[in-house]
Structure 1
Amino acid sequence: MRLYYFKNAEDLARQIAGALGLDAKLVEERDFPDGEVLVRVEPAREAILLARLYPDVNKNLVKLFLALDALSDYGADRVVLVAPYLPYARQDRRFRDGEPISVKFLLSHLRQYPVSHLIAVDLHKPYIGDYVAGLRVVNVYPAEKYAAAVRRWSVDVVLSPDAGSLHRAAALAELLGVPYNYFEKFRDRETGEIYMKPRGDVSLQGKSVVLVDDILATGGTLVDACKNAKLLGASAVYAVVSHCQLLGNAREKIKGCVNALYCTNTIPCEYSSLDVSEDLAKSISAIL
């Protein structure tokens, strides 16, 4: 078994290869002036392919499929694909008639190659792996690392910005030994203003709150939750997010509200203090 990696994932590749005692080989990449791309990978019967697909998602996906095609053509029997952040996972169902289920499309194309497993960190929805038969999807959620990061703040409650991330809040809260909940949105019938509050009769007065979510894109959802938590009396609000894209003016929004932000290095940024290479190595080891 050999570990192949794309250049933008070299930091993770070195840590994973070292933990597993594997030889790590760089996938050669070329970008042509007209926008086309080319890759080269050494043939192998069994391979681990590590691909950091964000940013430049569409170009990196083409490179990934070219690498998989080359491995397949040269007789690879088994490929374990490691994609720390899986793009297109947010389109996990049809929101309007005529739309594709984008993540199903992506997974079904992976299945055309000898990909036995897909390992990803904190998939948008856990059920994504059920879309394609024959492809084992491993969803890594490094809750222990999240708990270690925020434990210093004497957390009182863990909240998710909506019901969709409640399972994330539950996993972190169990390790911290604190309650968890999620925000519901309400509209003021007189002013039309939308506000948020935790589901049920939950007081945040004087409490230290941790918000948890999978993706931080523009920051709107997280900042709305943070502002409403403080309006409800929270003494401090911290945030743990798996994939921090930080688009547009998200950094300014976050700095204006959240007391501290912790992100993983699935998408490197200045907040990527949580290294998931050990968690990925353990998941790989479990299936080899």
Structure 2
Amino acid sequence: MPPSEPVFATRKKIQLIAGNAHRALAEAISTEMNVPLCDAHVGRFPDGEIDIKIDDDVRGTDCFVLQPTCPPVNENWIELLLLIDCLRRASAGRITAVMPYYGYARKDRKDEGRVPISAKVVANTLTRSGADRVLTVDMHAAQIQGFYDVPVDHLYAKPVMIEEIIKLGIENPVVVTPDVGGIKMARSYAKVLDADLAIVDKRRISGAEVAVEHVIGDVKGRNVIIVDDMISTGGSISGAADILKKHGAKQVVICVTHAVFCGPAVERLTACAADHVLVTDTIPQRVEGQPAKLRVVSVAPLIGRALLNIHESKSVSELFGD
């Protein structure tokens, strides 16, 4: 009797399944890959419970669920879990959770008594629901990959951001991290841009408030690029932009992957000393009320290429931008 056929050999095609978290990005990824979105109903029952029905045949196919866990985080998270469970019960060949923005990443360790490790709960629920693989972009804490016993593809938005920075024609740049924890990301940008590196020293007062105190490095008379993985309330990064201007920086460009923009973030960015704010479209942005200095860069080409490489068993690390 001949040996059984490998599981991957039964995957006849790609299926892209989009939740409701960010339809525009899902459609952009679909266009980049020249693969249509799967015909699926992702709605709500009258009481608000999530109602899902996949209308296409997914048996044996390579399924990618496109769903960032952005606000409303819990709605989008549960929707992602139910989509994965639906595909598993429909005999999908392989299921990849594509989370351009990975929520609940701040709590990656027990740093005080009687707190959860939320990022581990997310990892457990994803894999136990049936995810065979996870893809995300600029995870807030990269060590979360270690919570998984399935492959995790951690992409960086740096390649698409660098292209946008080059378009601005910034001369004599200094790459700045708004906190010590972002040194690795800042150094990666500085290497590509052949730029110097500086650090803004901050002291966190609470989850929503920080005090920006010192600048480590020379920024006087230089054009500054502040890089970070996310803007939440905007306190840290707007404060960093202001203090850099006070220390003699000329042009200040904020370059951040995930524009969470909660609370007073938009107002703070509008009022701060930054000349440009570059963000990606990992999280949907409302058109009205955004700062005039805001520019949105799409990660659809990056994610689309990564998904094709995964499907074709090609290298994904070439897209990491190391």
TM-score for both structures, normalised by structure 2:
0.81
Residue among 34, 38, 47 paired with 1:21: 34
C-alpha displacement at 1:186, in angstroms? Answer: 7.0
**Secondary structure class of the residue paired with 1:25:** coil
Contact kept, 8 Å, 2:27 with 2:37, in 1: the verdict is: yes
For the structure 1 residues 155 and 239, does the alpha-carbon distance in structure 2 shift closer, same or farther, using more than 3 Å as the test? Answer: farther
SS at structure 2 position matched to 1:11: helix
Letter of the aligned partner of 1:177 in structure 2? Answer: D
The amino acid that maps onto 1:124 is H
**3-state secondary structure, aligned to 1:82:** strand
Counterparts of 1:272 and 1:281 in 2: how far apart (Å)? Answer: 21
Change (3 A) 1:155 1:286: farther
Q: Cα–Cα, structure 1 residues 92 and 272, in superposed 2: closer, same or farther, change >3 Å?
A: farther
How has the CA–CA distance of structure 1 residues 185 and 7 changed in structure 2, closer, same or farther, with 3 Å as cutoff? closer
**In percent, how many aligned pairs have the same letter?**
26
Q: 1:260 aligns with which of 273, 276, 279?
A: 276
Q: Once the 2 structures are TM-superposed, how far is the Cα of residue 8 of structure 1 from its aligned partner?
A: 4.2
Partner of 2:262: 247
Q: Which moved more, 1:239-248 or 1:113-122?
A: 113-122
**Amino acid in structure 1 at the alignment position of 2:202:** K
Aligned to 1:161: 178
Task: Indicate the RMSD between aligned Cα atoms, in angstroms.
Answer: 2.1
Q: Check 1:186–1:231 CA distance in 2 against 1; reply closer, same or farther (3 A cut).
A: farther
8 Å Cα contact 1:120/1:140 also seen in 2 = yes
- Equivalents in 2 of 1:26, 1:264: separation in Å? 27
| 1:125 equivalent in alignment to 2:148 | no
Q: Which runs of 5+ in 2 are unaligned?
A: 1-13, 205-209, 312-322
| Pairing 1:50-129 to 2, within 5 Å after superposition | 50-129=66-145
Letter in 2 for 1:167: K
> How far has the Cα of 1:160 moved from its partner?
0.8
Contact 1:144 / 1:172 at 8 angstroms: preserved in 2? no
Corresponding residue to 2:250 among 216, 235, 251: 235
Classify 1:208/1:272 alpha carbon distance in 2 versus 1 (closer, same or farther; 3 Å).
Answer: closer
- Alpha carbons 2:200, 2:212 under 8 Å: kept: no
Checking the alignment, whether the CA contact within 8 Å between 1:77 and 1:114 is kept in structure 2 is no
What is the deviation of 1:26?
4.3
Q: Deviations over 1:229-281 (max 9, x none)?
A: 11211112110111112222211211222111011001122535200001101
Deviates more, 1:14-23 or 1:122-131: 14-23
TM-score normalised by length of structure 1: 0.90
Q: In 2 relative to 1, CA 176–218 (structure 1 residues): closer, same or farther, beyond 3 Å?
A: same
Q: Is the 8 A contact 2:138 2:155 kept in 1?
A: yes
1:245–1:185 distance in 2 versus 1, CA, 3 Å? closer
Q: 1:32 aligns with which of 39, 45, 48?
A: 45
Q: Cα–Cα, structure 1 residues 155 and 37, in superposed 2: closer, same or farther, change >3 Å?
A: farther
Counterpart for residue 156 of structure 2: 141
What amino acid maps onto 2:250 in structure 1?
Answer: S
Alpha-carbon distance in structure 2 between the residues aligned to 1:195 and 1:62: 37
Distance 2:212 2:157 in 1: 31
Q: In structure 1, list runs of 5 or more residues that go unmatched.
A: 188-192
How many residues align structurally? 280
The Cα offsets for residues 178-217 of structure 1, whole Å up to 9 and x where unpaired, read as: 0123222379xxxxx9543333xx2211111111111111
Q: Are the structure 2 counterparts of residues 26 and 213 from structure 1 closer, same or farther at C-alpha, using a change threshold of 3 Å?
A: farther
Distance 1:88 1:27, change over 3 A: farther
Q: Matched residues in 2 for 1:129 and 1:179: separation?
A: 30
